[in-house]
Structure 1
Amino acid sequence: MILVYTTFPNMEEAKKVCKILLDKKLVGCVNLREHLAMYWWEGKIEEDKEVGAIIKTTEELKEKVIEEIKKNHPYSVPLIMVMKAEVNEEYLDWLKKVTK
């Protein structure tokens, strides 16, 4: 299993992109959390509310998930972070059944 992490400007955009991933059966589950983000942009430090998405999928679907996020993401430079995850076998079996 892998986790894909990305951020969105608001819950509406996050839900829109994550629903696409779910509808296409590229992911099994998504967790969305609102948080404060501080970052450099165009020479100055910005501070905004964002929504972080923890996206759960399989290693085999990684490239398709990344491609779909890039195609639908509202940011010109979105973060797409991929992390390997060790999970219990029952969860991994479920994840493999609900994705294609």
Structure 2
Amino acid sequence: MLTLLPTARPPLAYRVPWRVNRTDIAHPRVANRSFEPASGVRAFVHDDGSPPGSEHWGLVMPGDVHELCLCDRDLGSAIVSVAWFRLGDDEEYLWRFCV
């Protein structure tokens, strides 16, 4: 016979801290719009025409903005992945956006 195991409540949803300004499509600006810093932040760029690229931003404080240069990329196929950790948390988070 199967017995249900006690489980903890699932964690509350976590709002992605990033907002992207695409005013200049070749230079999207990624801002931390949360109230907490993000640590170990990296941005990875993939497209159909170039080898993958990456940038290491490290600790990104609330309000900080980082600009990506995608001038040599195929903007029609470019995908940016942002990976980070929350302070005090060992979970790695990943968020992707298209330009």
TM-score (norm 1): 0.31
Comparing both chains, which one has the higher relative contact order based on Cα–Cα distances under 8 Å and sequence gaps of 6 or more? 1
Q: Which has the larger radius of gyration?
A: 2
Higher helix share: 1
Higher strand share: 2
